Amino acid sequence: MLIDIVSKGGNLLLSVPIRGNGEVDEKVRAACAGVGEWLKINGEGIYGTETWKKYGAGPQSEDAGVALRDQGFNEGQGKAATTEDLRFTTKNGKLYVFTLLIPKPGAPVVVTNLDAPVKNVKLFGSEKAVKSTDENGVLTITAPEAEPALRISLCYEVEFEQ
């Protein structure tokens, strides 16, 4: 949800319920800690970013969507995310490509409509080189083998040639 909201230029407001004695529930505490750990790795693609020319790609973003109701709250009402669903942000001339689910190792992650040749692709949370091809404005990245730090969503940093 955080990635989807930020890719559309929004901010996620998190409401943390507190028990009557002032303590935070352990499940809520663990969920917040998990988001914090993910942001330590991928935060560069979230903090201070802007929307790209399109917020996303894949079956979920191609869906006409669910009509807004109840003061605009429609999260969770559309199609479920797939491994083909991507979200995009940009900052300082770099493109950040997020997968909404972890693709199987070796599966392609495809980004179309690029305006410039790709210089470098990096995967946050991994020291391994990223396998990718850039042909006629279409970037195809080969999903990596699973690593413990990459268990929620992948974030690729795409640098363009000047």
Could you please report the per-residue DSSP string of 66-128? Answer: ----TTT--TTSSPPP-TT-EEEEEETTEEEEEESSPPPTT-EEEE---SS-EEEEEETT--S
State residue 92's pLDDT score: 97
| CB 144 within 8 Å of CB 119 | no
Supply the range of the domain harboring residue 110. Answer: 2-160
Residue reference for tokens 């903090």: 47
- CA-based torsion, 94, 95, 96, 97: positive or negative: negative
pLDDT of residue 128: 87
Q: Which pTM value belongs to this model?
A: 0.87
pLDDT for residue 77: 64
How many residues belong to the chain?
A: 162
- Residue 97: predicted pLDDT: 97
- pLDDT, residue 69, reads 56
CATH code for the domain in which residue 148 is found? 2.60.40.1180
Domain count, the chain: 1
How do strand 118-123 and strand 155-160 relate by DSSP bridges?
A: antiparallel
Tell me the C-alpha distance between 128 and 89, whole Å. 23
**pLDDT tens track, the chain, 162 positions:** 899 999 999 998 888 889 999 999 999 999 899 899 999 999 999 999 999 999 999 988 776 555 555 555 556 666 788 889 999 999 999 999 999 998 988 999 999 989 899 999 999 998 889 999 999 999 999 988 866 566 789 999 999 998
Residues 6+ apart with CB under 8 A from 77: 66
Q: What is the CA radius of gyration of the chain?
A: 17
Write down the pLDDT at residue 60. 82
The half-sphere exposure of 117 on its side-chain side, counting CA atoms within 13 A, is 4
